[in-house]
Amino acid sequence: MFSKHDIQRNEMMLDGPFARKGYDWWWHSFTGIDAKNGKEKQFFIEYFICNPALGEKDPVFGQLPENQKKGRKPSYLMVKAGCWGENSVQLHRFFGIKQTEIHAEAPFRIAAADCYVGESRLEGSITVTPEQAARHPEWMCDAGTMEWKLKVRKVIPFNVGYGASKPLQKLKAFEMYWHAEGMKSTYEGTVICNGRTYHVIPERSYGYADKNWGSNFTSPWVWLSSCNMTSLLTGRKLNDSVFDIGGGKPKIYCFPLERKLLSAFYYEGKHYEYNFSKFWTGTKTRFTVRETPEAVYWHVRQENKTSVMDTRVRCLKKDMIFVNYESPDGKKLHNRLWNGGNGVGRIRLYKKRPGGMELIDDIRAENVGCEYGEYDA
């Protein structure tokens, strides 16, 4: 079953060749409630380490022309934080590797100045002035302020299997790895974003926590997840459910596997998994992503020998950002990587029967985390 916790996969994986050409990040997203008007707001916080073996006292930016001329690769801890929806913002704060305390083994922890991340706690702050944002395009971010102090409880994991296990990770076979220790998580605490205070309470946080690591980023890049779901058949809130879909074009030793996704649906305690690496399950996947001037639309249809999951999600572009990263080689190829947390969707889950299919549930999903990006090789 995929719902097996494994905090060893949350360790920092940047050893061997990944130490000089590799990244590792810990992503968190959740919902807060405005202290003044009670409205919901979706937030994200990420701690991203790049090329630690090349680290110096100060951060090294791969986008700076002088570093590109000298062949200097990026190396730093980047703390990313922001929000989606109205007045969306993406903020970055950088630390040199030698300014950063890294405890790589489980349970991992990373600290620099007032920024901290571990298995159960997040703290930090970022301030970027308009003048700084304009003067430093290599920071790849907006202007604004955000501070946070949060507890996190990772309730249901998506353990993708052998592909992200320690033995295969040591081989560095994949270009990009994924583990979701908390595909359903609860958050508790406070966020102050651009002067507004938000309370984060567990039962309304609709939280998510995962990590990616590797030597480069996939293209196409697809991610969809939500734990805020309601059955359209019964009207009942699905409080013990979460789905997670991710992937695009995984590469094994530079050989691409076209249009492959890893997916899990934990539906009220029952497991439905669509994982191309588990070939014996007979998993098949078809997906499309399309853009209109107003929105991005995802359609993912997956099946295995016993079930079918059909997922459709829409997210308005006005509620999204282009999330920014540079890869460990210093290139920035993803310049239109749509990223949002306000998606809405519909999931139809079927059980295969002799001669046809039986509808298990028809579900509305809200607060859907979503990503899509693709670049020309």
In a domain, 77, yes or no: yes
What local confidence, expressed as pLDDT, does residue 250 receive? 80
Q: Please identify which residue in the block is written with the tokens 């937030």.
A: 43
Encoded tokens for 221:
């890049």
Task: Compute the average pLDDT of residues 326-345.
Answer: 97
pLDDT recorded at residue 254: 72
| pLDDT 10s digits, 141-153 | 999 999 999 999 9
Query: Which letter does DSSP use for residue 340 in this model?
Result: E
Q: Is 178 within the bounds of a domain?
A: yes
- The pLDDT, as a whole number, for residue 166 is 61
Q: What is the pLDDT of residue 85?
A: 97
Report the predicted TM-score, pTM, of the whole model to 2 decimal places.
0.97
Pick the residue with more confidence: 101 or 169? 101
Is 251 inside any structural domain?
yes
Average pLDDT of the residues in 49-72: 97
Euclidean distance between CA atoms 157 and 160, whole angstroms: 9
Cα–Cα distance measured from residue 148 to residue 153, given in angstroms and rounded to the nearest whole number: 16
Tokens of 318: 């006005």
pLDDT attached to residue 165: 58
| Amino acid 204: pLDDT | 98
pLDDT of residue 256: 73
Asked if residue 279 is part of any domain, the answer here is yes
197 occurs within a structural domain: yes
Sign of the Cα torsion 53, 59, 65, 70 reads negative
Helix or strand run (H / E) with residue 92 = strand 89-95
**Virtual torsion, Cα 159, 160, 165, 171, nearest 10 deg:** -160
Buried b (16+ CB within 10 A) or exposed e, 315-324: bbeebbbebb
Q: What pLDDT sits at residue 279? A: 86
Q: How far is CA 12 from CA 7, 214, 272, 330, in A?
A: 11, 11, 29, 20
Q: What is the token pair recorded at 5?
A: 């916790």
With 70 as the cut, is the pLDDT of residue 105 above it?
A: yes
Which pLDDT score is estimated for 376?
78
Residue 200 inside a domain? The answer is yes
* Percentage of residues in the chain having pLDDT higher than 70: 98
* pLDDT for position 167: 62
Nearest CA among 90, 155, 158, 156 for reference residue 126 = 90
Taking only the tens place, the pLDDT of each residue in 287-324 is: 999 999 999 999 999 999 999 999 999 999 999 999 99
Predicted pLDDT at 34: 98
pLDDT confidence of residue 164 = 59
pLDDT at 30 over 70: yes
**Residue-averaged pLDDT of the chain:** 95
Q: Which of helix, strand or coil describes residue 276?
A: coil
* C-alpha to C-alpha distances, 76 to 25, 100, 143, 159, 325, nearest whole angstrom: 12, 9, 20, 28, 12
At residue 277, the pLDDT reads 84
pLDDT value of position 363: 98
38 within domain boundaries? yes
Q: Would residue 2 count as lying in a domain? A: no
**Is the predicted pLDDT of residue 159 greater than 80, yes or no?**
yes
pLDDT in tens, 163-187: 555 666 677 888 999 999 999 999 9
Residue 285 Cα to chain centre, angstroms: 21
**262 confidence band (pLDDT: 50, 70, 90):** very high
- Which one, of 89, 113, 370, 329, lies nearest residue 243 by Cα? 370
Do 121 and 114 form a contact (C-beta atoms < 8 A)?
Answer: no
* Residue 43 belongs to domain spanning: 7-373
Query: What local confidence, expressed as pLDDT, does residue 259 receive?
Result: 78
* Counted domains in the chain: 1
Is the link from the previous residue into 220 a cis peptide, with omega within 30 of 0? yes
Amino acid letter, 364? R
pLDDT band at 366 (very low <50, low <70, confident <90, very high): very high
**Residue 258 pLDDT more than 90?**
no
Pairwise CA distance, residues 285 & 247, whole Å: 11
Task: For residue 283, report the phi and psi dihedrals to the nearest 5 degrees.
Answer: -70, 135
Q: What is the mean pLDDT of residues 336-342?
A: 98
Please write the tens of the pLDDT for every residue from 191-219. 999 999 999 999 999 999 999 999 999 99
